[in-house]
Amino acid sequence: MRVLTVVCALVFLSSCGGPAEAPKDAAPAAPALVAFVPQPGGTLADLMRGIPFPHSNTIFDAQTNDPGAPKPAEKAGPDAKATDKFGGLYGGWQAIEVSGVALQETANLLMIPGRMCENGRPAPLDREDWPKFVQGLREAGVATYKAAKARSQDAVIEVSGQVADACAACHEIYRDKTDNKDRCIP
């Protein structure tokens, strides 16, 4: 009986102590991961105007303006615009590279469920042709990036056709409507 009492007392006392210290050579505990669920931040039109439109225009501009040419002098004074100062921080070939990446990343954003068209209709993610069009945009972005890395204006001229085709394929079905209320409907 005495032994049982001593054992119970030891168990009780050990359970009342503070938390056990980690061994000195143990790695720190990993922080808890926060679940992140991508959500659309704007309409399909907002997304298209904000990312692929300006970046595809940068690619198209490189057809006639050599990205490797020296940069023109920056405007100053009251006639200068924010885009004059900050719009070209990553100019030249780097602007074409970034534009290729932007098209690739836009493909990811186009597949986020819940995105709405400007007219309030859901973006057509559930249609069979949508992922094909999105993949075409991704491939155009990859090709643009490679052409820019090669520093070849001829390659950029060639790939700009792929960019135009990727945009047109989707626009012909979903965007180019006589009435805005019919957009996003094939």
CATH number at residue 137: 1.20.120.10
pLDDT at residue 14 greater than cutoff 70: no
Taking only the tens place, the pLDDT of each residue in 137-182 is 999 999 999 999 999 999 999 999 999 999 999 999 988 888 878 8
Name the residue range of residue 158's domain. Answer: 43-64+88-186
- Residues sharing a CB contact under 8 Å with residue 107, sequence separation 6 or more, in sequence order: 134, 135, 137, 138, 141
Query: For the chain, what percent of residues have pLDDT higher than 90?
Result: 60
Spacing of C-alpha 28 from chain mean position: 33
- Specify if 3 maps to a domain: no
- Specify if 27 maps to a domain: no
Residue of 47, 46, 183 lying closest to 121 (CA atoms):
183
- Specify if 185 maps to a domain: yes
Question: Which comes out higher in pLDDT, residue 5 or 48?
Answer: 48
What confidence score (pLDDT) does residue 10 get?
Answer: 47
> Tokens 């836009």, residue?
106
What confidence score (pLDDT) does residue 69 get?
Answer: 85
- Specify if 31 maps to a domain: no
- Specify if 181 maps to a domain: yes
Taking only the tens place, the pLDDT of each residue in 109-145 is 999 999 999 999 999 999 999 999 999 999 999 999 9
CA atoms within 13 A on the CB side of 180: 6
pLDDT at residue 11 greater than cutoff 90: no
- Specify if 126 maps to a domain: yes
How many independent structural domains does the chain possess?
1
Taking only the tens place, the pLDDT of each residue in 16-53 is 555 556 566 666 777 778 898 999 999 999 999 999 99
- Specify if 12 maps to a domain: no
What confidence score (pLDDT) does residue 110 get?
Answer: 97
- Specify if 73 maps to a domain: no
